[in-house]
Structure 1
Amino acid sequence: MADLIFYNKVVSLDSRIHHDLRVNPQGGYAFAAKTNSVPVVGIEFADTSREYPIAFVKAQGGVFLPVALLGLREDENLFVDGEGRWDARYIPAFVRRYPFVPAEAEQGEVVICIDEAAACLNREEGEPLFAGDQPSAYLQNMLNLMREYQAHAQRSQEFCKHLQENDLLVESNAQAQLPDGTAFNLSGLFVVDEKRLLALDKEKVHALFAQGELGLIYAHLMSLGNLQRLVEKLGTRLQG
């Protein structure tokens, strides 16, 4: 199962237990207010790069994972305000799928789970999860989203593997500084080294291009300019 940030009570979705459960789609994003990064997958890079910096973090087993940076401080998402509203044109799929999450059961089967502690769940109003013992149209759309996400997550793992094989990832030594002089060291983040990328031989560059990964690399590099946006948003929040 994916890193369960902002999930608290995850159980398998069961029509017998959850037959009358509903989701309030207008429940807001307060659940993600203390999350300063979320995983993203390759198909999201174009949209994500217009809003957030994309970096890579080292996960369990030494594998790398692409993430959208949402804040500069621990436990702070600069895109969620005090009313639980998300201030950006694009919201990562990892966030949009909440309160659902796929989990891999025995023999590789994917099981859909739900956070029973989610504030958006109730039994009075909102979108029903089931129509009888079958998934509702709303739930079916969420199931489709998660299946697509899982497929793209696997492709993103291959992308990160290729970055490692080509020795393109380096630890970032970036710093962010507020107008008042307060500095933040962005440690534990990895970025593509553009000099190493330009030094690759033609065969390796062509392989990245043929796999659709060269565009992802440049979307990542372009997204790093959004670090300044995080600095500005934090400065505004501290002043307010």
Structure 2
Amino acid sequence: MSQTTLLDNVNHHDLKIITEHGARFGDNVNQVLTFPSEYADVHREYPILFHRDSASGDYQSIALLGLARDENLFLDESGWDANYVPAVIARGPFLIGLHGDSGEPMIHVDMDSPRVNRSQGQAVFLTHGGHSPYLSRISEILQRIHRGVAGSADMFAAFTACDLIEPVKLELQLNDNERYIIDHFSTISGERMAALTGAQLESLNRQGYLQLAFYVLASLGNTPQLIERKNRRSVAMVS
């Protein structure tokens, strides 16, 4: 149960946030939502897959972090082992909420988060009430998420119109006795991408979606890295 409230520099003047990563902060997840606005960074580290909501039929993007339930292969004793932390994780206890009748997006904070306290971590506000450098960075992350949420539907509509989305089944063989099958996801079809007409390519490029489709395709090249991380972790547990 979260206690989400509008962030302000009076009630939260001395608020501090623990920014390290660990299972106790809920970081031990095998997938996390990701957005077109961060594909350029995410595709260098994690496989990007599409999940279709069974109720609404809408597509969402996820970054694959692990192979088993509650397994994050990028999380170790020293923290998050990657150059880029997905925005949904990096935002910590903060989120954007629509405020008042105007519906203006404003920063909210989950006061029940184990990261939130008054004694240790990064200060949210400066002594005289201004945004700390940490909060300024969080604001940029939240804006990236906000843009990504707003643009996802149009991107998936463009991909669907070009018939680019297809189911994918990843079969990952770790050793002679251990194999993982990851299905119920979709991706961009490389074959259909190659068959796009000039008009379709121009339209996708003009809308900014062509590069995003290439990012998704390229991200699948990170799948072997998951196997390597899984194998290293298994060896470490045995030893």
Q: TM-score, normalised by structure 1?
A: 0.85
SS in 1 for 2:79: coil
Counterpart residue number, 2:72: 77
Name the CA distance, whole Å, in 2 between partners of 1:20 and 1:43.
32
Match for residue 233 of structure 1 among 223, 226, 229 = 229
1:65 counterpart letter in structure 2: Q
Instruction: Write the mapping of 1:139-178 to structure 2, written as runs, cut at 5 A.
Output: 139-178=135-174
Instruction: Write the mapping of 1:194-209 to structure 2, written as runs, cut at 5 A.
Output: 194-209=190-205
Contact (CA 8 Å) 1:54, 1:68: kept in 2 or not?
A: yes
Could you tell me how far 1:160 is from its partner in structure 2? 1.6
Could you tell me how far 1:20 is from its partner in structure 2? 2.1
Moved more, 41-50 or 160-169: 41-50
Could you tell me how far 1:232 is from its partner in structure 2? 1.7
Match for residue 108 of structure 1 among 100, 103, 115 = 103
Could you tell me how far 1:137 is from its partner in structure 2? 4.1
Name the CA distance, whole Å, in 2 between partners of 1:118 and 1:158.
33
Instruction: Write the mapping of 1:1-240 to structure 2, written as runs, cut at 5 A.
Output: 9-12=2-5, 13-25=7-19, 27-30=20-23, 31-59=25-53, 61-81=56-76, 83=77, 85-104=79-98, 108-131=103-126, 135-240=131-236
Distance change >3 Å, CA 152–CA 120, structure 1 → 2: same
Moved more, 9-18 or 185-194: 9-18
Moved more, 28-37 or 131-140: 131-140
Distance change >3 Å, CA 121–CA 163, structure 1 → 2: same
Could you tell me how far 1:225 is from its partner in structure 2? 1.5
Structure 2 unaligned regions, length at least 5: none
Deviations 1:65-107 (A, max 9, x none): 12211011111111001x2511111211221111211134565
SS in 2 for 1:181: coil
Name the CA distance, whole Å, in 1 between partners of 2:41 and 2:144.
16
SS in 2 for 1:173: strand
* RMSD (CA atoms): 2.2
Could you tell me how far 1:32 is from its partner in structure 2? 4.1
More strand per residue: 1 or 2?
2
Name the CA distance, whole Å, in 2 between partners of 1:184 and 1:103.
38
Contact (CA 8 Å) 1:15, 1:133: kept in 2 or not?
A: yes
Moved more, 114-123 or 90-99: 114-123
Contact (CA 8 Å) 1:63, 1:161: kept in 2 or not?
A: no
Moved more, 171-180 or 142-151: 142-151
Contact (CA 8 Å) 1:52, 1:68: kept in 2 or not?
A: yes
Name the CA distance, whole Å, in 2 between partners of 1:191 and 1:121.
37
Could you tell me how far 1:192 is from its partner in structure 2? 0.9
Distance change >3 Å, CA 164–CA 75, structure 1 → 2: same
2:124 counterpart letter in structure 1: L
Name the CA distance, whole Å, in 1 between partners of 2:220 and 2:59.
17
